[in-house]
Amino acid sequence: MTNTALVVGASGVVGAATAEVLSQAGWPVLGLARRPATQSGVAALAGDLLDPSSLREALAGAAPTHVFIATWLRQETEAENIRVNAAMVRNLFDALRASGSVRHVALVTGLKHYLGPFESYGKGTLPQTPFREDQGRLDVENFYYAQEDEVFAAAARDGFAWSVHRPHTIIGKAVGNAMNMGTTLAVYASICKTTGRPFRFPGSETQWRSLTDMTDARLLARHMLWATETPAAANQDFNVVNGDVFRWSWMWERIAAWFELEAEPFDGVVRPLEEQMADDATVWRDIAARRGLAEPDLGRLASPWHTDADLGRPIEVVTDMSKSRRMGFALYQPTDDAFYALFERLRSDRLIL
């Protein structure tokens, strides 16, 4: 049987990378999003996961064999995150059930599985690092758990296999994405370079000095493809990171050098980007107009709140990949190179300086 992929959230950081990887591998790819972007090799479907009639219309006639879920909607409270994001996954499977074609579903969540939701992020009693899949769930409500439960229930009902993929902070290109550290730092560096402001690390001393890791969106996409093609990976949950570890005291200098900036020495004071960039919407609009940049809306490029959540954590966060390695997934991506590749793409597309 010919494989056909449905990428849910195809306009986001993970979805766009996944659609690209699958298309390059020769798969027919359907890309579902509320506002689909044009992407080579991807048939765009416009549908709202919170509107069942919209989904039925978007998916009418579609018969995907593999579904890749890489989307969520942020709400004001975790209770609302659970209600809304669980409904999105549930509505998707209700719309797909009639086709009876689905054989594997890959769900992207993340390390909030171990760190807790935004309301209690990195607080209380947490598992020891490096995080391992067998550590299980925290005793706290979490929309990632709700998404998983919807996948498990649909799999039991409709007879497909599943895999869950938990990346650390993702490096990848998308405009209008809610969680996008790489582009946020690139925009921040561009502003610092243009205005002469100091390029200051915004996070905690723990993050500055401790080990951490990250996940390239392209590697995550290849991990999901690997899981669909590896029988032993069926019905399993996986951590997914690049394979290297670093300290921000090292990475910050490398990012500064790429932008030809001098990194201001870190003095131990947390200076959140949300505060540093609070008045930068007008600054960025002026820079975009003067330098001919493609996106003048700072809010569509930068997500300071999310970058602050990651860089301000008071604990070391590293991730174990042994489960995937033992099953044969051997890809590796140096994280500094992942940043550089993203910056090159953003500059090529006239999104940063």
At residue 168 the predicted structure's pLDDT band, cuts being 50, 70 and 90, is very high
CA angle 79, 237, 121 (to 5 degrees): 35
At residue 312 the predicted structure's pLDDT band, cuts being 50, 70 and 90, is very high
Percent of the chain with pLDDT over 70: 99
Percent of the chain with pLDDT over 90: 92
Is 173 a known active-site residue? no
* Cis bond upstream, residue 130 (ω within 30): yes
Eight-class DSSP state of 140: S
Which pLDDT score, from 0 to 100, does residue 125 have?
72
pLDDT at residue 323 is higher than 70: yes
The one catalytic residue among 144, 145, 173, 188:
144
At residue 1 the predicted structure's pLDDT band, cuts being 50, 70 and 90, is low
Which pLDDT score, from 0 to 100, does residue 177 have?
80
3-state SS assignment for residue 33: strand
pLDDT at residue 220 is higher than 70: yes
pTM as predicted: 0.96
Over its C-alpha atoms, the chain yields an Rg (Å, rounded) of 20
How far is the CA of 306 from the CAs of 42, 131, 273, 346, in angstroms?
29, 20, 9, 19
Which pLDDT score, from 0 to 100, does residue 123 have?
66
Of residues 36 and 107, the one with the higher pLDDT is 107
DSSP 51-117: -HHHHHHHHTT---SEEEE------SSHHHHHHHHHHHHHHHHHHHGGG----EEEEE--THHHH--
pLDDT at residue 128 is higher than 70: yes
The overall average pLDDT reported for the chain is: 95
Which pLDDT score, from 0 to 100, does residue 124 have?
66
Q: What mean pLDDT do residues 156-169 have?
A: 98
Q: What mean pLDDT do residues 190-199 have?
A: 97
**pLDDT tens for residues 281-290?**
999 999 999 9
Could you tell me if 95 and 59 are in contact, meaning their C-beta atoms sit under 8 angstroms apart?
Answer: yes
Eight-class DSSP state of 351: S
Is 144 a known active-site residue? yes
Which pLDDT score, from 0 to 100, does residue 196 have?
97
Which pLDDT score, from 0 to 100, does residue 179 have?
81
